[in-house]
Structure 1
Amino acid sequence: MIDANILIIDDDDDILLSAKLFLKQHVKQVITCKSPKEINVLLSKNDIDLVLLDMNYQKGTSDGREGLYWLEHILSIDKDHVVVMMTAFGNVELAVQAIKKGATDFILKPWENEKLFATLSAASKLRQSTKKVKKLEKIHVSMQKDLARQFDHLIGNSEPIKKLQHILVKVAPTDANVLILGENGTGKQVFAYELHKQSLRRNNAFMHVDLGSLHENLFESELFGYAKGAFTDAKEDKPGRFELAEGGTIFLDEIGNLSLPLQAKLLSVIQNRTVNRLGESKERKINVRLITATNMPLNDMVTQGTFRQDLLFRINTVEMVLPPLHQRGEDIMLLAAHFLQSFSNKYHKRIQQFEPKAVNLMLHYRWPGNVRELQHVIERAVIMSEGILITPEDLQLSPQKFGMGTQPPTEMALEDMEKMMVQKAIEKHKGNISRASAELGLTRAALYRRIDKFNL
């Protein structure tokens, strides 16, 4: 059975009838028409997988020019249409010409039913393969757009972030292997994507692989691919992540989780720049930029014998260490404001600012989960908020996770911190009230009231 909708175009009623009687037993749907002038309407109204197209329509003609014209017309509508030509004249040159112009195959009339079925079955498989590739391309494009939106740009004005941005600008245009270190939630994937976005490979794939969630038994098949028959469920050839990232960047997250045997296999691929699919002896060359990341102490692991030193040398041509959020306090409100705008748009809320007390709470909080925790807190606050400002109650921050003692700051501490924040923002922006108020998440009028309140 061929899972396809077939359109047959021929001016001979007997041909149409015999083809339909035979094929309707073997395909999902058969549509017939006598005139190729109906092609536009039929293709627009039906999801056609295959077109079986006659080459001659006027009596006495055998040069196939009409068929070639309509072949080109069909492919101009969609270059991925699968068209099989048919003619009663065994002209080899005509067959070659049709194939050169984009026909998938060629069949002579009168045909043998087995030959017709085999030809259409092969053409159907080609169509399904093309559709699958197109779908994967759309998914890839969508993923890249989502990544670009999610990691719009690196947010931060703190010294640690400025230093990292300086390194990033130098390293991104090269093909140097980069190792990104940092606690969970510090933004390692953000930096990896930024490296890709500013590289010469930016128009190709950015392939993220979470090694921490990848089962050891699936490591080779996922990263290197497999050949048909390599194992029980291997029903077709499948490229691995390295091949899919060809010309682009592969980001191996949580590389510290790899066992020593898997580290050896990865090292071989990095050194030789080739992969071997499971069940296949053929070496396939790869051209990818490698970025890795982990929250684990790899140097200590080398000393303990749990991470290969030669692999560490290979992956950390350049090393970037991301600071925890509490070490980049100046960036907390910049990040919070970014997330607030993003989630307000996502959930169709009209929240634009934080209450001053909410600002103070966020600046005083330890953020053990780093930027990821801040992002989740803001998202939850936007969802739960019933007003136009985010309140301390909306944030739901744990009292045990504040930097000073085990309780949130007192009213007096909050006032002192608010004064310090306002003063620091004004000094930073050299008295520019618009910029200072924007950084603090306040209106200009609200900032003027605080200036007056604190005698600044």
Structure 2
Amino acid sequence: MSENGQCGDAASGATILLIDDNADVARAMEIACRIAGHDIVAVPSPEEALSRLALQRFDAILLDLNFSPGQTDGEEGLALLARILATTPDARVLVITAHSGVRIAVAAMQAGASDFVMKPWRNAELIAKIEAAIARPSRIAAAPRPAPTGEPVHILGDSLAIERMRALVQRIGPTEASVAVTGPAGSGRSLVAAALHAASARGAMPSVTVDLADPEAWGRLAATEATLILRNADQIDAVMQGRLLERLMPEARVIAILTHAAGLGAPLRARIATIEIAVPPLAERDGDALLLARHFARIAAQRHGGPAPRFTFGAEALLTRRTWPDEVRGLALAIERAVLLAENGVIEATAITPPVVVVATEPTARFDLADSEKAMIAAALREHHHNVTHAAAALGLTRGALYRRMERHGL
């Protein structure tokens, strides 16, 4: 399977992503595509579409332009189109619109869509447009390069912090600048490094990762055409930093994954950190924890052979408030564990409670278990509409024990 929309022979069977919240439209298009010998994956929302695009490559994308009830201006679809093309400029996107939406379809074409499909459509015309879009040469003006064959690289998140970072990645990625990707461990630094590499002219070639803490890995520094992804450059001493600087080929592009760029000496910093991209911690990514949790639930469900469970209201409330040990990586682990423990396709708040992490402002850290217990009880009560019996069962307590704790916490 090639990059989105780059299939050598459309007739051999393409993989298509359909993004439409109308179940009847989805069913009709699924039938038409499957009869034509193509596989189709249907999702009802932009969030699920981006989640799917982060997991799998598609030869073509069918995109409805409106999702919220009452929306007819196509702004939601155009925003999603821009998001898709920013990450995958060669994606073959066909927008779906009604006859009254010709103006919006024209705007989508001007924004980079490959074609548009009018409702109601004729199946033969729909399939012909899909296959023509897949077979059409790239519209990208730059010299063509082989499509990447690895996993797709999509940075998920809708928070302002992550949108700013994603825009910087899209701006710097195509250049030859060496970049320092900084931030806490587990926040997604490796994904950002991969996105920078994928956006570059070297993106068709595998990157070369060198962990500088491993002496045997230093031999890979001789790679010149590929992107070098360096780990732990800020953890080696000044002597080793000097040796690293001597070993780096002038033509090699470097992306360094660091905790802090301040750990680099000035000469090395000038070579491998022309620009710094700071990955924001999850606590600064307002609303992204829930979006990522749903994404990780889909991944875990697919890995373990079951449907993606839904989160209860209490679980969603907990996801938006908690500090997660090990950042996004820790959240992914917690969600996979919760998927395995989910009953009847539902994830309760109690299944995803991580250890409490409190940042010390004084020499001695204060771990307040009472605050954690209060938050859990409040979430369980909301989830079960303040039915104490049901909330107590969800928390693994007797009614009497729950009443005592409610009184203690003023609930």
Q: Deviations over 1:382-414 (max 9, x none)?
A: 122232011122214225569997314547854
Pair 1:264–1:174, CA change in 2 (3 A) = same
Is the 8 Å Cα contact of residues 180 and 322 (structure 1) preserved in structure 2? Answer: yes
Alignment of 1:126-165 (within 5 A): 148-149=151-152, 152-165=153-166
Equivalent residue letter for 1:181: T
Alignment of 1:46-195 (within 5 A): 148-149=151-152, 152-195=153-196
Residue 289 of structure 1 corresponds to which residue in structure 2? 253
Measured in 2, the distance between the counterparts of 1:390 and 1:383 equals 10
Measured in 2, the distance between the counterparts of 1:341 and 1:334 equals 11
- Corresponding residue SS for 2:158: coil
Measured in 1, the distance between the counterparts of 2:356 and 2:320 equals 14
Measured in 2, the distance between the counterparts of 1:349 and 1:261 equals 52
Measured in 2, the distance between the counterparts of 1:392 and 1:416 equals 11
- Corresponding residue SS for 2:287: helix
Residue 211 of structure 1 corresponds to which residue in structure 2? 212
Residue 29 of structure 1 corresponds to which residue in structure 2? none
Aligned: 1:371 with 2:328: yes
Pair 1:379–1:298, CA change in 2 (3 A) = same
Cα distance, 1:177 vs structure 2: 0.3
Residue 298 of structure 2 corresponds to which residue in structure 1? 341
Cα distance, 1:211 vs structure 2: 2.8
Measured in 1, the distance between the counterparts of 2:177 and 2:375 equals 49
Aligned: 1:355 with 2:300: no
* CA radius of gyration, larger in: 1
Measured in 2, the distance between the counterparts of 1:412 and 1:380 equals 21
Measured in 1, the distance between the counterparts of 2:374 and 2:313 equals 13
Pair 1:316–1:338, CA change in 2 (3 A) = same
Residue 407 of structure 1 corresponds to which residue in structure 2? 372
Pair 1:269–1:211, CA change in 2 (3 A) = closer
Pair 1:355–1:403, CA change in 2 (3 A) = farther
Q: Which runs of 4+ in 1 moved over 3 A?
A: 399-406, 408-418
Measured in 1, the distance between the counterparts of 2:274 and 2:267 equals 12
Is the 8 Å Cα contact of residues 351 and 390 (structure 1) preserved in structure 2? Answer: no
Measured in 2, the distance between the counterparts of 1:327 and 1:409 equals 23
Is the 8 Å Cα contact of residues 351 and 389 (structure 1) preserved in structure 2? Answer: no
Residue 223 of structure 1 corresponds to which residue in structure 2? 218
Aligned: 1:395 with 2:373: no
Q: Percent identity?
A: 27
Is the 8 Å Cα contact of residues 364 and 403 (structure 1) preserved in structure 2? Answer: no
Measured in 2, the distance between the counterparts of 1:368 and 1:382 equals 18
Is the 8 Å Cα contact of residues 179 and 291 (structure 1) preserved in structure 2? Answer: yes
Q: Which has the higher helix share?
A: 1
Measured in 2, the distance between the counterparts of 1:199 and 1:182 equals 22
Q: Please list every run of 5 or more consecutive structure 2 residues that lacks an aligned counterpart in the other structure.
A: 1-147, 359-366, 384-411
Measured in 2, the distance between the counterparts of 1:417 and 1:177 equals 49
Equivalent residue letter for 1:311: L
Cα distance, 1:223 vs structure 2: 2.1
Pair 1:400–1:203, CA change in 2 (3 A) = closer
- Corresponding residue SS for 1:348: coil
Pair 1:416–1:328, CA change in 2 (3 A) = farther
- Corresponding residue SS for 1:340: helix
Measured in 2, the distance between the counterparts of 1:358 and 1:411 equals 9
Q: Which moved more, 1:258-267 or 1:172-181?
A: 258-267
- Corresponding residue SS for 2:267: helix
Measured in 1, the distance between the counterparts of 2:245 and 2:236 equals 11
- Corresponding residue SS for 1:148: coil
Measured in 2, the distance between the counterparts of 1:204 and 1:171 equals 18
Measured in 2, the distance between the counterparts of 1:412 and 1:337 equals 23
Equivalent residue letter for 1:185: G
Cα distance, 1:288 vs structure 2: 2.8
Measured in 2, the distance between the counterparts of 1:377 and 1:357 equals 16
Pair 1:359–1:162, CA change in 2 (3 A) = same
Q: 1:251 aligns with which of 198, 215, 229?
A: 229
Is the 8 Å Cα contact of residues 155 and 335 (structure 1) preserved in structure 2? Answer: yes
Pair 1:393–1:265, CA change in 2 (3 A) = same
Measured in 2, the distance between the counterparts of 1:186 and 1:246 equals 28
- Corresponding residue SS for 1:185: coil
Measured in 1, the distance between the counterparts of 2:378 and 2:271 equals 49
TM-score, with structure 1 as normaliser: 0.46
Pair 1:293–1:403, CA change in 2 (3 A) = farther
Equivalent residue letter for 2:267: D
- Corresponding residue SS for 1:291: strand
Cα distance, 1:331 vs structure 2: 0.8
Is the 8 Å Cα contact of residues 313 and 382 (structure 2) preserved in structure 1? Answer: no
Is the 8 Å Cα contact of residues 324 and 354 (structure 2) preserved in structure 1? Answer: no
- Corresponding residue SS for 1:386: coil
Aligned: 1:319 with 2:285: no
Cα distance, 1:186 vs structure 2: 0.8
